[in-house]
A = this chain, B = another copy of it.
Amino acid sequence: MIPLVCPTPISTRDNILLGHGSGGKLSAELLRDIFLPAFANPVLAKLEDQASLDIGGTRLAFTTDSFVVKPLFFRGGDIGSLAVHGTVNDLAVGGAIPQYLSAAFILEEGFDITALRAIADSMAAAAAKAGVTIVTGDTKVVERGSGDGVYINTSGLGRLRDGVRLSASFAQPGDAVILSGSIGDHGIAILSEREGLELETDIASDSAALHTLVDAMFEASPMAAIRCMRDPTRGGVASTLNEIAEQSRVGIEIVERRLVIHSAVRGACELLGLDPLYVANEGKLVAVVAGESAEAIVAAMRRHPLGVDATVVGHITGEHTGMVTMRTVFGTSRIVDMLAGDQLPRIC
């Protein structure tokens, strides 16, 4: 089991905070102090976003995610499409071909059935577009005040590509860090909807299925050149990079001016005191790849509609192990720590 970055154990007197769902330090504590010790096994201990399994000689990826996003409908998507994209992406960045999804609904008494129908239709459309089939499901209903409209869990299954081996522990000094596009769009879209912000430009969530972008990356490079991929959702790019630095026991250096940040996202972040590096994305991936393959992979990504802004944003070093640093636009260097609290609750 790999120790995570936070040294302070949770006191048994403590209660759950919103930050425990943030994807940052508190989430990591909960995992390290409660779930990993209880469920101790080598697959879970790898701390990947999906489990790699062997059943009857077939290699599979298996993943699960619950979606509690608020509001349920937002610019660029809704809880239904998000629930499909999130799980498809966890399979895709694990090197699997997404194939089957489950869909489990926790409905609140009084929820509007027309809204439920719209969400189910949106899930179906997203699944059809992503080439996955929803094959099993469940519905529970809780009393008014014990839920919030609808929560959705999707679990996903896919066949792992032959010979693929990806892990957040495989990054090596000299590797390049690729980001597939702009950051912070999903989080800011949700937040502006929730807070009724009037932004100069409307920002839409980037929610999308990334599996064909991943296909393009594998076609452009020897399989072993791709060390790991992650979709930087809760906790944003900063948390994802910190997890990779920690698990691979390497340093990561990124360059601020290479980050693509839409001006409306930048403006909203300044207004709200948020750092876009910590804001959630739902249609982006971070990849660590062999330095010599980076150019070919980025070129292939840029030919894909979801990768037109793909860029090498940094590299892996053997220095400051377990840490992420950023060369700022002012030429200084700063540490990019893991998200400490809960920047934006219920973002996915």
Q: Which residues of A contact B (CB under 8 A)?
A: 10-22, 27, 30-31, 34-35, 38-41, 43-44, 50-51, 53, 55-60, 62-68, 99-100, 102-114, 116-117, 120-121, 123-124, 127, 133-143, 145-148, 151, 153, 155, 157, 159, 342, 345-346
What residues of chain B lie closer than 8 Å to A56, measured between beta carbons? 58-59, 159
What residues of chain B lie closer than 8 Å to A147, measured between beta carbons? 146-148
* Shortest distance between the CB of A88 and any CB in chain B (Å): 15
In the assembled complex, the Cα of A124 lies from the Cα of B34 at a distance in Å of 11
**Structural contact, A140 and B53, CB atoms closer than 8 A:** no
In the assembled complex, the Cα of A58 lies from the Cα of B30 at a distance in Å of 35
What residues of chain B lie closer than 8 Å to A38, measured between beta carbons? 117, 120-121, 123-124
* Selected contact of A66 from candidates B11, B16, B138, CB within 8 Å: B138
**Structural contact, B139 and A21, CB atoms closer than 8 A:** yes
What residues of chain B lie closer than 8 Å to A14, measured between beta carbons? 113
In the assembled complex, the Cα of A30 lies from the Cα of B150 at a distance in Å of 14
Instruction: Please report whether the interface of chain A is mostly helix, strand, loop or mixed according to DSSP.
Output: mixed
In the assembled complex, the Cα of A99 lies from the Cα of B196 at a distance in Å of 47
In the assembled complex, the Cα of A88 lies from the Cα of B121 at a distance in Å of 30
**Structural contact, B44 and A135, CB atoms closer than 8 A:** yes
Given contacts A16-B113, A123-B38, A139-B27, contact A133 B346 (CB under 8 A): no
**Structural contact, A34 and B66, CB atoms closer than 8 A:** no
**Structural contact, A146 and B148, CB atoms closer than 8 A:** yes
* Shortest distance between the CB of A26 and any CB in chain B (Å): 9
A-B contact pairs, 20 of them (CB 8 A): A16-B107, A16-B110, A16-B141, A20-B139, A21-B140, A27-B139, A34-B120, A35-B120, A39-B103, A39-B124, A40-B124, A53-B135, A58-B58, A62-B157, A64-B102, A106-B151, A138-B153, A140-B346, A142-B148, A142-B345
Given contacts A20-B139, A20-B141, A110-B15, contact A104 B345 (CB under 8 A): no
**Structural contact, A53 and B21, CB atoms closer than 8 A:** no
* Selected contact of A133 from candidates B43, B100, B124, CB within 8 Å: B43
What residues of chain B lie closer than 8 Å to A40, measured between beta carbons? 124
**Structural contact, A44 and B134, CB atoms closer than 8 A:** yes
Determine the residue in chain B with the shortest Cβ distance to A86: B138
What residues of chain B lie closer than 8 Å to A116, measured between beta carbons? 16, 34
From A31, A68, A148, name the one whose CB has the most chain B CB atoms within 10 angstroms: A68
**Structural contact, B57 and A16, CB atoms closer than 8 A:** no
**Structural contact, B65 and A138, CB atoms closer than 8 A:** yes
In the assembled complex, the Cα of A14 lies from the Cα of B112 at a distance in Å of 7
What residues of chain B lie closer than 8 Å to A65, measured between beta carbons? 104, 138
In the assembled complex, the Cα of A32 lies from the Cα of B116 at a distance in Å of 13
